[in-house]
Amino acid sequence: MKRFIWVAGAAVLAGYGSANFSVYNRYSSVNAEYLCGYGPDVYQDALTVTHGLLEQVGSTSTVDTRMHTDEYLGNWWTAVLNWDVNAQYSVYGSLANATKIVASGQNIMSSAVIGPATSGLASGNPGSLLRLSFNVPVAQDFWFSGALAQSGPANRNEAVVKIMKDDGTGFVNYILRIAQNNSFSDMIHLQAGNYLIEGWSKSHANQDENAYGKWSYTLEAVPEPGTMIALGAGLAGLAASRRKRKR
């Protein structure tokens, strides 16, 4: 009888499906433009970190640093771009039946000059970008949470996380979070359909200055009510079984 109660609870739990979604594509890139000196000296750099289908479940760490050094009238100028993706993608569950994805990254600009030469370092818009494509098979709720940070004025440095939905004519903004050194945690409702979720940042450093934009996000499916009820039934069965064992 003890065994029956727990097995029955587990059987009820197995009869319900949890909320889920599928993740099937990713793209991330870095674009930067370096400006230096008294004349029109421009150095452009573009780096594609990853591009293509999600081939595995898990997380990865990618750090890329680019440096450009130039000289104007005997004055040295150095610019550095650092693109750090802490979790390029971290998928919980199978790609076709995920329950949560997590990603984070930062875009850091640094420039330094010895002498009176002028310099500037600016990333494109977006300067660093991670995009994940996913499909929601049935309308369901999600926890959407994350953190956004920047240094300096918002018009120079910025971090953004947004979710876009395919409305039949293309992807349009659905939910938008813009950095003012804040965090967010909301329960959102997504209708069935195809979505893109993006995290990106831009930074612009002047002479002898560092600047950054940072973002992170988690999108986690909320279990369906039936799943929670079934889980409660299973746990109740387990508790009853344990109580009987003690008698």
Mean pLDDT, contiguous 10-residue spans, the chain (247 residues): 36 49 87 74 74 62 81 82 83 90 91 83 86 95 96 89 97 93 96 96 90 95 66 54 59
CA separation, residue 245 to residues 5, 11, 149, 238, 240 (Å): 12, 21, 53, 11, 9
> Could you tell me if 49 and 62 are in contact, meaning their C-beta atoms sit under 8 angstroms apart?
yes
Rounded Cα distance, 24 and 15, in Å: 27
Contact 128, 45 (CB under 8 A): no
Q: Specify the pairing of strand 193-202 against strand 158-166.
A: antiparallel
Which residue, among 197, 74, 64, has the nearest Cα to 134 in the 3D structure? 197
Q: Which of 64, 43, 204, 41 is nearest to 121 (CA)?
A: 204
pLDDT value for 40: 60
**CA 32 – CA 111 distance, rounded (Å):** 13
As a 3-state breakdown, the chain gives helix, strand, coil percent values, each rounded to 5, of 15, 65, 20
Say what the pLDDT of residue 242 is: 58
Predicted pLDDT at 14: 34
pLDDT attached to residue 240: 57
Do 72 and 41 contact (CB within 8 A), yes or no? yes
Q: What is the pTM of this model?
A: 0.78
Q: How far apart are CA 74 and CA 56, in angstroms?
A: 50
User: Which residue intervals of the chain are DSSP H helices?
Assistant: 2-14, 225-246
Angstrom distance (rounded) from CA 121 to CA 79: 7
DSSP H helix total and E strand total for the chain: 2, 13
